[in-house]
Amino acid sequence: MQTQRTLDEFKNEPFTDFSKPENAAAMRAAIEKVRSELGREYPIVIAGEKVVLDAKFSSFSPSNKSEVIGVFSEGDADTALVDQAIEAATSAFKSWRNVDPATRAEYLFKIAAIMRERKHELSAWMVFEVSKTWAEADGDTAEAIDFCEFYGREMLKWAAEQPITPYPGEKNTFEYIPLGVGAIIPPWNFPLAIMAGMTMAAVVAGNSVVLKPSSDSPTIAAKFMEIVEEAGLPAGVVNFISGSAATGEAMVTHPKTRFISFTGSKGVGLHINEEAAKTRPGQIWIKRVVAEMGGKDAIVVTDDGDIDAAASGVVAAAFGYQGQKCSACSRLIVDEKVHDELIAKVVEQTKRLKIGQPTEGDTNVAAVINKRSFDSTLKYIEKGKAEGGQVLTGGTGDETNGYFIEPTIIDNVQPGSTLEQEEVFAPVLAVIKARDFDHALEIANGTEFGLTGALYSASQERLDRAVRDFHVGNLYLNRKCTGALVGVHPFGGFNMSGTDSKAGGREYLLQFMQGKSIAQKI
């Protein structure tokens, strides 16, 4: 690969404007292309070799639950696979760690270029496999491109000469070196962006990895693996295993796993952290865990907030991608003096959202990810009502063909109640009245999470107070609490929301490297 070229400053990949007929036509063509490829089988990939097992599982469309998206080997059925993959990664690491960082970055730029060429096709796979609407899928693909472009550039900065204090009689340098073999366990809700970001951040830092995507979204990961191979990344640097919990557990507990990068639920994240802390026979390091977990994110609207802007922001943040974002607005905390006015607008806008198949360009809300999520969401709605909540709109679901939940708003939710405290991860918005701004902040901070939050207020004093006292990793003022952009809004939360690793920020790559100080007497 050629020496690093001169690079332009990083800029976010623009979103597609589907109101333009040519863009809508291109997306429809991509959807039909992907439709013609549904149901194909995808292999496990270890050291570049394709592995097919007798045991299989299928990925289904949440919006058309009889539609098979892809067929995969069940990695859980072969306990030796994880050993083989980690050995392959260990072998590849011996040479990959010594590859010039500029060359490693070039692979990311090439992967980004291929993804950019196939943007609509990649988005279409997410439309089918995880029921993203056109806009949500397009944003996911754009973010995946951003991660590759951003992390490639940031690696060049970390590989450059690092500032240290001079000392007479010595030549001193400080450099960052990779950790080793990593387990990459991404989620289904951003199956391209987060998966690609987690994987390529580790890779560009000089590590090799074993990637196990969610069993709800393996096809898009398999498509990404095809791009990785096309870009010419050396075999064994990224190894791909499809499977379920047992495969992930074996990756986490393996003594040759140096770090685990995980995005998902609080429960699984805490379990991974606990298991990673145990030292297994043959293990010679303390494993590092990078965990992005849940949220119970709140938008606070004060009595002087812009009601129209707040209503639009709440609806977008609560119901975008069916509320299945760790950053989603699941709590609306509103000053009681403007409660009625705001809620009327929020309900009105919510009722206008179109529920339908994600393959249609005008759909706003599609299905939740699976049967388990569908059943759990309905139970949370019933729990909310039992605890005194009032359903203002929605509240029901239909699983005839897919797992559709109506966008649901539950008013009069009390601080400390189940619906106010627990992450639902679905299109359910809990509305809580606050007496005043102090009370609103108290409620907002009154959960075990601390991921995103937003405040709508015309008072700079209140905005400044939120900066100081609203305890979240990503705070948004007079705008919605979703839509973090790579490089613009480094993303990660406090408390039970994870390790605040700040994906899409410059320091993120430090999670996958360690510092080495070299002193030479002269």
Cα–Cα distance for residue pair 510/155, rounded to 1 Å: 10
492 sits in the region (left: phi over 0; alpha: psi -120 to 50; else beta) called left
Long-range contacts formed by 5-13: CB under 8 A, 24+ apart: 5/106, 7/153, 7/156, 10/149, 10/150, 10/153, 10/487, 12/142, 12/146, 12/485, 12/486, 12/487, 12/488, 13/116, 13/142, 13/143, 13/145, 13/146, 13/149
326 annotated active-site:
yes
Six-digit token string for 498 = 């994870």
What does residue 450 show for φ and ψ, rounded to 5 degrees? -165, 55
Cα–Cα distance for residue pair 266/449, rounded to 1 Å: 9
What does residue 488 show for φ and ψ, rounded to 5 degrees? -90, -45
Q: Catalytic one among 136, 292, 422, 423? A: 292
Six-digit token string for 128 = 């089918």
Six-digit token string for 425 = 């991860």
Q: Is there a contact between 401 and 395 (Cβ–Cβ < 8 Å)? A: no
Q: Would strands 56-60 and 68-73 be described as parallel, antiparallel, or unpaired?
A: antiparallel
Fill in the DSSP letter of residue 426: S
Cα–Cα distance for residue pair 497/116, rounded to 1 Å: 31
Residues 6+ apart with CB under 8 A from 74: 53, 55, 56, 57, 242, 243, 244
282 sits in the region (left: phi over 0; alpha: psi -120 to 50; else beta) called left
Fill in the DSSP letter of residue 4: P
Six-digit token string for 494 = 């406090």
For residue 405, CA distances in Å to 128, 344, 355, 394, 427 come to: 17, 21, 9, 8, 7
Handedness of CA 303, 305, 306, 311 (dihedral sign): negative
Q: Catalytic one among 67, 148, 326, 406? A: 326
Cα–Cα distance for residue pair 424/36, rounded to 1 Å: 34
Fill in the DSSP letter of residue 397: E
Residues classed as catalytic:
292, 326
